[in-house]
Each structure stands twice: as structure tokens, then as C-alpha cells.
Structure 1
Amino acid sequence: MSAPTRERRRTLAHTTPVLLLRAAHPRVAALTAAGMAIAAAISGRPGREVGLVLATVLVGQAVLGWHNDLVDRVRDAKRLPSGKPLADGYLDPGTAWFAWGCGVLLVVPLAVSNGVTAGCIYLVSLGIGLVGNILLRNGLFSWLTWAAAYSLYPAFLSYGGWGGQTTGNPPQVAMVVLAAALGVGVHVLCALPGLVADHENGFRHLPLRLALKIGATRLLLVALVWTALALVALLLVGNAVGLRQ
């Protein structure tokens, strides 16, 4: 590879849009948004509503990702390179806060466009996630905000409509419980890459406690099985009783 090519790639990687994309936790955002869009499609929602769900959740996840890295930037900077643009000094916090504010201003009308009730439910879920970036995350009850946020996803879908209408019915209780279980599994999977740093910082959240007892490798397997079973159960229960009551 020539020197000019390497320089172009290095420069592209450090442009503000790319840095913002990296700080938004794009893999988690894309997987969550795609999963919700697929769930909306399976539940029989028309194409335009599936696209709206995808856009809403994608922006909401970016808001969560930026907020997470902003909150953690001082702690992450203790282990350089951290691989995070904010902690490594490549992305200015003011720029990230501006993007976060724009994301919030965008996600509110997107959410309400799914229906007033559905939109409010999604915004509450998003708010729980933001609170989870600050509170409970370092202790035994770190899983609680993840479970609570995910438990509202079925209601977001079951009440979903188009153009701000209030439509739909409450979700099946079993779907809510299984979505909460899925949230716990996702929490563990997301925490695994940072276990060493969290341990050095004195954190004692649920994934770290479990990893200290059974080992990180076994915890990964358990979390994968747990998450897969939750997903399969959601599909089976949704097929058997539907999403709505």
C-alpha cells in the first residue's frame, strides 16, 4: 500500500462525520434498529412504518451511544488508546454534545410519528437508557435499566401507527417479559469487552460479578445462549399469541 493511500485512509478515519459515527456505537445501533424493524415487519406493519421504526430506533441508539461516550470519556482516557474518539482526543466533546442535541431534536418527532402513544413509550425507553448511562450501571443492579428499556419495545411496536395517530393495543405480557430478558442478555454482551477496565476502576456490575465467578469465556457462552433463547422465545410466542392483546 502506498504512503498517499495510507494517508488518505488515516485522514478519512479522523474526519468529524466518521468520528461521530464511531462514537455512536454503530454496531449496537444498527443491530437494535434492524431487529426492531424486522419485528415490526413480522407483526404485519406496512413498509413505510417499518422504515419509520428503523429510523427512529437508529437515531435513538445514536443518542444513547454519544451520551455513553461523553459520560465515560474521562474514565476511558485512563487507558490509552481506548479506541473511542472522545477519550482518545480525536473528537471534541462540544461537537459530540452538539450532535447529541441534534439527535434528541430529531428523535422526538420521529418517535411521535409512530403514533402519540407509541412515541411517548419509546421516548420513555430512551430516557431510561440515558439514565442508565449514569445511574446503577456500576453496581449489582446494572441490568435493571436495560431490562426496563427493552421491556417497553413491544409496547412501542404494538401501539405503533402512522402520522401521530393513537392506535394499537397493549402488548402481550409474555412479550414484555421476554423483551426484558433480551435486554439483560444484550447488557452482558455489551459489557464483556470492557470487563478488564471496569475491574481496574473498581466497578462491580452484574456482568463483572458473573465473570469473576465463572470466567469471561463461559459468561460469553451463557450470554449468547441466553440472548438466543430470548430471541427464539419472542418469535415463538409472537407467532402463537401475537404482539398485541
Structure 2
Amino acid sequence: MTEDAGLPATLATEPPAGVPAGVPTAPRRRIRDALPVLLVRAAHPRQALLTAAALALVAAVAGRPGREVLLVLGTVLVGQTVLGWHNDLLDRERDRRHERTGKPVADGRLDPGTLWFALCCAVLVLVPVAVAGGVLAGACYLGSVVIGCLGNLPSRLLRTGLLSWLPWAAAFALYPAFLSYGGWGGQAEGDPPHLAMVGLAALAGVGVHHLCALWGLVDDHEDGWTYLPLRIGLRLGATRLLIVSLVFLAAVTVALAAVGRQVGL
């Protein structure tokens, strides 16, 4: 056994050039192994940024002032971070078993206890930030995050079963209410969302679910999952499922834009 056997692979380094063998040297950490970087990677940053940007764009198109648009952006970023961290914590053993890359909790670079602490801090930040756009609007967004966390649980009925689309549809269905009721300050209270927007947002959630599921279909099939995207993927193939998902999402987006132009949020 070598002297570095007890150290994580990212910390075991050779002596720098010019330093004689046997002289103690401080282990060098790469930037990508720094704690802030690992926390960002565990937050599913691409999905978080896309979701936050999409809702902020809708708020801007709806005529919300700049400060409210930024509040929507910040609220959704924190909420999506909570969902990403929660997902990686629950899936760390499964991610390790399938040797998935980009999962710092699963590969041992990020301690689960540290991430749980960060997650609790993020929740403490999320609640007042969400309510800052109005109590009712904040409650709607917090409800969507709770539903998303429930969807992360390894349930044979929801996450891995035929009703896997339900948490996604329910969480997305609350987005129009979050935007329509929102404003600036805890006392802000807008109008209720139109039912057509709620229904279309739920359909968008179903489409996003199928799109996100594409990248794990092989692993999910190995684990015996029977959820809807996998069943469709087995019939159509991954490429066709990708095309169908993109076309479906494009159609829903066009419908949202058309209905929104007529009736607003």
C-alpha cells in the first residue's frame, strides 16, 4: 500500500518539479474540486438556469418591472438549486453504482453532510425570497418545490412508475399562479391565473419530464423502472422520443404564447 492510499484521488499528487523526493509538500486541489464549484455542479445548473430564465422571461413579457423580474429569477434559481441538491443526495448510491459523471456526491468529492447543510440553508433563504413577491405567490412557488422534492423520492407509483409525470405536471401547473399573483413585497396580490395557462403549463411539465428522462433511460431500464418515458422510449427508440418531446414542447410553448397574448397569465 502506498503512502497516498488513504487520501482521495483528487488530493494524491506527485511532488512538484524541482522538489526532492521525500520532502513534504501540501496537496494541490484543482479548481473544479473546490467546494463552491462542487455545490454548483450538484445543483443541476443547466436545468436551474434554463427554468429560472424561462420564468423570468415570461415575467418580463407580461410587463413586470425589472426588480420583480429579478426577484422571479432569484427565487427560481434558489428553488431549483434545492431540487437539484435534494435529487443528488437521494440518488447518490444509484449514481455511484452506474458510475455517472458530474455527480460530486456520488464520486466522493462532496460530503453528503455538507450538502445537507447547504440544502437547509438554501431552504431558509428560499422561504423569505419567495414570500417577498407576495405571500400567495410565494406559497404557490414553495408548493411547486415541495411537489418536486416528493417527485425525487423513490416511489414505485410516482418516480419510477406509470404516474412519474404527475409531480412534474403539478409543479409546473403552479408556475402561472406564482407569476400572476406575484408582485413586489409580501402584501402584493395579483389576479388568479387563467385555467388555460395552468393546463398548458402542466403539459409543459410533462414534456420537460420526458426530455430530462432521456439521458438516464438505459440506467433506469437496468434498475427495473417502469415509468412513462421509458415505456415510450422502448417503443419508439431514444432518438424518436427526443424528437417527439421537442416537438411536443415546441407546440405547448406556441400555445402558451398564443393564449398568453390573448388572456395574459
CA distance in 2, matches of 1:68, 1:130: 8
Tell whether 2:129 aligns with 1:96: no
Identity, % of aligned pairs? Answer: 65
The aligned counterpart of 1:12 is 31
Give the Å deviation of 1:181: 0.4
Residues 135-154 of structure 1: matches in 2 within 5 Å? 135=155, 136-154=158-176
Tell whether 2:231 aligns with 1:209: yes
CA distance in 1, matches of 2:169, 2:100: 31
Q: Taking CA–CA contacts closer than 8 Å with sequence separation of 6 or more, which of the two structures ends up with the larger relative contact order?
A: 1
Size of the aligned set, in residue pairs, is 237
CA distance in 2, matches of 1:213, 1:10: 46
CA distance in 2, matches of 1:211, 1:10: 41
The aligned counterpart of 2:125 is 106
- Residue from 158, 170, 182 that aligns with 2:180: 158
SS in 1 for 2:131: helix
CA distance in 2, matches of 1:186, 1:27: 13
Inter-CA distance 138–113: structure 2 relative to 1 (3 Å threshold): same
Letter in 1 for 2:66: G
Q: TM-score, normalised by structure 2?
A: 0.87
Contact kept? 2:41, 2:102, Cα under 8 Å: no
Structure with the bigger percentage of helix? 1
Larger radius of gyration between Structure 1 and Structure 2: 2
Give the Å deviation of 1:195: 0.6
Tell whether 2:213 aligns with 1:191: yes
Residues 44-193 of structure 1: matches in 2 within 5 Å? 44-134=63-153, 135=155, 136-193=158-215
Unmatched tracts of structure 2, length 5 or more? 1-15, 17-27
Inter-CA distance 81–182: structure 2 relative to 1 (3 Å threshold): closer
Inter-CA distance 106–160: structure 2 relative to 1 (3 Å threshold): same
CA distance in 1, matches of 2:104, 2:211: 21
CA distance in 2, matches of 1:18, 1:122: 26
Letter in 1 for 2:176: P
CA distance in 2, matches of 1:206, 1:88: 29
Note the alpha carbon deviations across 1:67-90, whole angstroms, 9 max, x for none.
Answer: 000000011110225431111111
The Cα RMSD (Å) is 1.5
Q: TM-score, normalised by structure 1?
A: 0.94
Letter in 2 for 1:14: D
Give the Å deviation of 1:10: 7.2
Note the alpha carbon deviations across 1:203-234, whole angstroms, 9 max, x for none.
Answer: 11111111001111100000001111111111
CA distance in 2, matches of 1:172, 1:231: 16
